[in-house]
């Protein structure tokens, strides 16, 4: 589990500071009224009569907001200490009337959806103390909030504005002037909502406290509204209330309001608690109580809801979905959800599991005998459910913490089970856990049949897909853990997305208030950081600069052995596999929810991803979960890699191009390392908006000092100082263009017969190169000190790669004064200044000619070395990083989190 250490001395702990401030407010409210003169009431809760949800997906799928019976809600309220009961269902008080008929003392209430007639906006309004006849009138007035509130004021029906920052606008945009109107329209404001997080609760509190009589007077003139018409006294501060907003009967009563009633004990002998509560609400004698559980409470509530959906949903009908109002993506999402849930109902074990989840969240443990009926590999599920049910007997805080911990651990255990099943399917070798399919096989077979029956039911489809294996064979064996994992993740995503679906508005609102602005901080994900490849080298350099400057960026990588560092989060992967044809590169599987928790706890508000491996899926998961900006840093030219390392046809490569286009289009911005790629991404093939593509670079390394150049005769005994020696340092693989070297060298030797070659690096092509270049010196993997000696002692760097998007080794050579020759493409085309710091060539013939011309002009060598060093100096890390931060819209200042540790 993640343990985060904050530098509290610098007030960097965003969420803990919010908790401290809000809890201090609640402690003050706790002591406002004498205990003997106060009633406890949850002013905001729901049951099964909230059957017409405002959310579009619920209406499309014909799902109520809850299946909770009124009797169970009342039991939950009483269990959690409520003295007075009210049920505030959407747009109706049916539950209140039914309870009254059964002799229950109830404060009649409802949560009405009211529309602004002059704006594309509607809000909820909690209303109390009305009669059945008045309920009908209130429902008629809902289309005009001004009429609604005037009527309520005229008839002394108290109203409360719940969750003020959770507004409903069809366009998704909210005019800040709306809050001036809300201040004029409402005397009572709900600042504690059990389903909202600390940030929104604190923003609401500070907004309500910041409303002054002077502001009310100015806003009244501006909007030509008289607050008195709505029962609002502009001279009085806002009355602050609390409610659980519970729909599942789990948290009802844990958040609510204290109501002050003088001489309460005496008056209870003569009057009903509901009448006394109504009197206190009218007079504004209210103080909120309870606690805020970040997104954890909502996560638990939605898990319970999803568990019931999984067992209760009925087929909504395809025509209903297609013909319902809403965008196409909403309808497709609802179609996918309904099919998944209906399919899950067919799985007996999955259906029973979700019944047990619902029972556990209500405090009911699974039957002990069930342990012997469940397969051993699934018994961990029962362990988690028993722990959840047992925690119901503890404090609310303990229950919330236990459930969320168990959900995370259950998700992890299910994913490990999934991985074990995948490994047994034959996709992974049993000896060294290497993936059986190569890049070429994946490229050729990466397809899904258009005939869906072939995917779902198998059949005689002539095409074999995804490494030639039937999808259904694997899906059938993993269907149970996959579905359970999907629902667990879905509840977590939905709860967080629901809280932050208007994140931009919340950011703007915080700036408007001048307090509680969210951290500006990026989490940079990568699949590789400590491996021997160019991407790792670049990112390591970026990490060191972030650490030195204490910038608002943290890197995150999965690695089984490395320890965390300042600005570096390290998680152990669920599994690691060796990628074929990569010289040992590892594919590491991350724990999705673990990273989600780290993102939330770390106070990040944007994501960057550097690799197209599993982390790119995690990045998009975080984007949609937290509604944050997401960027991609393009290090690798996959099309060129596939072209260089496989025999894939143009059609097969084009399919990968379309897949990459779809992927890159999901990001708010893409960073590229050369102008050629920027033109490609913004051209007709990839169709990205030019404003979303940022040209960047890597910094040049510092040249090693106090290093003696290598002597050529130590590499070639017959060499002299004048012997022309070429040098290359890179991974020895096909995509590096090393296959061109034998021909280039042969052509150049026609004019320079004594030309030599030194090769530093290792890789899958080393043996083939040794056979083709028997007189070359192969040094294998070489450390930085040795490389510096080679750069300073040899003559010309050769770089025949058409694959590299940048070319760190070029800047490394330049920093030590070694000019270079490369193909005029991608990174080298931007870095090399022809005739100043090196040479560019169009093909092998010109490449060899440039080598010959360089050695035939020895009088220019000193100037070329000077030019190389000058060019490296232009890639200064500070300026590059500053531009990178500006493009990420991050502040050019010290970071807010010094170090975090992961155990």
pLDDT in tens, 627-655: 999 999 999 888 888 887 788 888 888 98
Quote the pLDDT of residue 22: 93
- Identify any residues that bridge with 159 across adjacent strands, giving them in sequence order: 127
* Cα 343 from chain centroid (whole Å): 28
pTM of the model: 0.87
Cβ neighbour number for residue 512 with a 10 Å cutoff: 12
pLDDT tens digits, 500-509: 888 888 888 9
Distance CA 815, CA 805 (A): 19
pLDDT at 7 over 50: no
pLDDT at 366 over 90: no
463 confidence band (pLDDT: 50, 70, 90): very low
**Percentage of the chain with pLDDT > 70?**
90
Helix (H, G, I), strand (E, B) or coil at 744: helix
pLDDT tens digits, 834-867: 999 999 999 999 999 999 999 999 999 999 999 9
pLDDT tens digits, 209-256: 999 999 999 999 999 999 999 999 999 999 999 999 999 999 999 999
Tell me the average pLDDT across 720-748: 93
Quote the pLDDT of residue 211: 96
Is the Cβ–Cβ distance between 478 and 418 less than 8 Å?
yes
434 confidence band (pLDDT: 50, 70, 90): low
4 confidence band (pLDDT: 50, 70, 90): very low
Distance CA 674, CA 804 (A): 10
Is the alpha carbon torsion for 498, 503, 504, 507 positive or negative?
A: positive
What angle is formed at CA 396 by the lines to CA 394 and CA 402, rounded to 5 degrees?
70
Burial 6-45 (b: 16+ CB within 10 A, else e): beeeeebbbbbbbbeebeebbeebeeebeeebbbbbbbbb
Rounded to the nearest integer, the mean pLDDT of the chain is 88
H, E, C per residue of 463-519: CCCCCCCCHHHHHHHHHHHHHHHHHHHHHHHHHHHHHHCCHHHHHHHHHHHCCCCCC
Left, alpha or beta for 437 (phi > 0: left; psi -120 to 50: alpha)? beta
Quote the pLDDT of residue 346: 82
Distance CA 95, CA 105 (A): 12
pLDDT tens digits, 748-789: 999 999 999 999 998 888 999 999 999 999 999 899 899 999
Cβ neighbour number for residue 402 with a 10 Å cutoff: 18
Distances in whole angstroms, Cα of residue 407 to Cα of each of 385, 563, 603, 839: 9, 26, 21, 59
Quote the pLDDT of residue 449: 54
Strongest mean pLDDT among 323-337, 611-625, 640-654, 883-897: 611-625
- Identify any residues that bridge with 523 across adjacent strands, giving them in sequence order: 554, 607
Strand duo 756-760 + 725-729: pairing: parallel
Tally of residues, the chain: 903
For residue 693, give the H/E element and its range.
strand 693-695
Q: Which residue has the higher pLDDT, 190 or 701?
A: 190
Is the alpha carbon torsion for 841, 842, 847, 848 positive or negative?
A: negative
Helix (H, G, I), strand (E, B) or coil at 867: helix
pLDDT tens digits, 308-348: 988 898 999 999 999 998 888 889 988 988 888 888 888 78
């Amino acid at each position: 589990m993640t343990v985060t250490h904050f530098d509290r001395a610098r007030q960097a702990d965003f969420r803990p500071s919010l908790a401290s401030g809000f809890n201090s407010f609640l402690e003050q409210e706790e002591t406002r009224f004498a205990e003997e003169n106060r009633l406890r009431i949850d002013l905001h809760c729901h049951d099964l009569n909230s059957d017409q949800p405002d959310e579009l997906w619920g209406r499309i799928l014909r799902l109520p907001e809850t299946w909770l019976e009124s009797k169970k809600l009342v039991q939950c309220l009483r269990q959690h200490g409520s003295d007075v009961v009210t049920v505030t269902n959407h747009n109706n008080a049916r539950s209140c009337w039914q309870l009254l008929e059964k002799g229950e003392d109830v404060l009649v209430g409802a949560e009405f959806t009211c529309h602004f007639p002059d704006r594309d906006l509607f809000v909820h309004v909690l209303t109390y103390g009305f009669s059945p006849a008045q309920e009908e009138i209130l429902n008629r007035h809902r289309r005009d909030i001004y009429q609604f509130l005037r009527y309520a004021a005229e008839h002394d029906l108290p109203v409360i504005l719940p969750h003020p920052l959770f507004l409903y606008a069809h366009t998704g945009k909210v005019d800040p002037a709306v809050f001036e109107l809300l201040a004029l329209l409402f005397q009572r404001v709900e600042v504690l909502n059990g389903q909202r997080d600390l940030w929104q609760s604190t923003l609401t509190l500070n907004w309500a406290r910041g409303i002054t009589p002077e502001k009310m007077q100015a806003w009244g003139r501006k909007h030509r509204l008289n607050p008195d018409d709505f029962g609002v006294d502009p001279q009085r501060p806002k009355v602050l209330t609390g409610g659980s907003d519970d729909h599942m009967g789990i948290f009802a009563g844990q958040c609510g309001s204290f109501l002050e009633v003088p001489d309460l004990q005496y008056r209870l002998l003569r009057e009903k608690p509901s009448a006394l509560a109504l009197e206190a609400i009218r007079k504004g004698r209210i103080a909120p109580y309870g606690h805020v559980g970040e997104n954890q409470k909502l996560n638990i509530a939605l898990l319970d809801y999803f568990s019931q959906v999984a067992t209760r949903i009925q087929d909504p009908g395809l025509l209903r979905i297609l013909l319902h109002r809403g965008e196409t993506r909403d309808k497709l999402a609802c179609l996918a959800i309904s099919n998944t849930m209906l399919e899950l109902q067919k799985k007996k074990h999955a259906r029973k599991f979700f019944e047990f989840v619902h029972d556990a969240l209500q405090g009911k443990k699974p039957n002990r005998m069930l342990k012997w009926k469940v397969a051993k590999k699934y018994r961990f599920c029962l362990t988690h459910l028993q722990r959840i049910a047992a925690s119901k007997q503890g404090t609310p805080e303990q229950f919330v913490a236990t459930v969320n911990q168990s959900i995370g651990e259950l998700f992890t255990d299910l994913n490990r089970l999934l991985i074990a099943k995948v490994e047994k399917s034959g996709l992974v070798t049993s000896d060294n856990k290497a993936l059986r399919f190569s890049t070429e096989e994946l490229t050729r077979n990466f397809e899904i049949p258009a005939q869906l029956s072939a995917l779902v039911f198998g059949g005689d489809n002539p095409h074999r897909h995804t490494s030639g294996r039937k999808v259904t064979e694997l899906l059938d064996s993993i269907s149970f853990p996959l579905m359970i994992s999907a629902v667990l993740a879905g509840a977590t995503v939905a709860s967080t997305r629901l809280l932050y679906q208007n994140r931009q508005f919340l950011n703007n609102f915080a700036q408007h208030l001048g307090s509680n602005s969210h951290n500006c901080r990026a989490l940079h994900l990568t699949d590789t950081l400590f491996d021997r490849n160019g991407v790792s080298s670049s990112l390591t350099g970026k990490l060191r600069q972030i650490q030195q400057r204490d910038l608002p960026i943290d890197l995150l990588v999965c690695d089984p052995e490395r320890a965390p560092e300042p600005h570096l989060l390290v998680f152990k992967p669920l599994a690691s596999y060796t990628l074929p044809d990569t010289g040992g590169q590892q594919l590491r599987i991350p724990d999705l929810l673990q990273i989600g928790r780290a993102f939330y706890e770390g106070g990040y508000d944007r994501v960057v991803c550097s690799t197209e491996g599993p982390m790119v899926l995690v990045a998009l998961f975080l984007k949609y979960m937290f509604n944050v900006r997401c960027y991609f840093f393009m290090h690798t030219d996959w099309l060129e890699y596939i072209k260089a390392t496989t025999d894939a046809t143009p059609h097969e490569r084009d399919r990968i191009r379309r897949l990459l286009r779809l992927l890159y289009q999901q990001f708010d911005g893409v960073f590229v390392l050369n102008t050629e790629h920027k033109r490609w991404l913004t051209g007709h093939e990839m169709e990205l908006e030019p404003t979303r593509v940022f040209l960047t670079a890597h910094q040049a390394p510092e040249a090693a000092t106090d290093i003696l150049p290598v002597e050529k005769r130590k590499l070639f005994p017959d060499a002299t100082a004048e012997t022309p020696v070429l040098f290359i340092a890179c991974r020895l693989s096909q995509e590096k263009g090393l296959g061109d070297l034998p021909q280039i060298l042969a052509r150049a030797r026609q004019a320079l017969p004594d030309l030599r070659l030194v090769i530093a690096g290792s890789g899958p092509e080393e043996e083939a190169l040794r056979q083709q270049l028997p007189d070359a010196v192969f040094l294998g993997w070489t450390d930085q000190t040795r490389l510096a000696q080679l750069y300073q002692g040899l003559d010309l760097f050769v770089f025949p790669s058409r694959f590299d998007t940048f070319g760190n080794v070029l800047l490394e050579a330049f920093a030590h004064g070694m000019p270079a020759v490369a193909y005029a493409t991608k990174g080298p085309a931007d870095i090399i200044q022809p005739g100043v710091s090196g040479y560019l060539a169009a093909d092998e013939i010109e490449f060899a000619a440039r080598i010959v011309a360089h050695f035939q002009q020895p009088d220019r060598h000193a100037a070329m070395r000077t030019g190389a060093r000058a060019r490296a100096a232009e890639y200064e890390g500070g300026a590059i990083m500053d531009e990178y931060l500006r493009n990420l819209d991050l502040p050019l200042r010290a970071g807010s989190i010094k170090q975090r540790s992961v155990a």
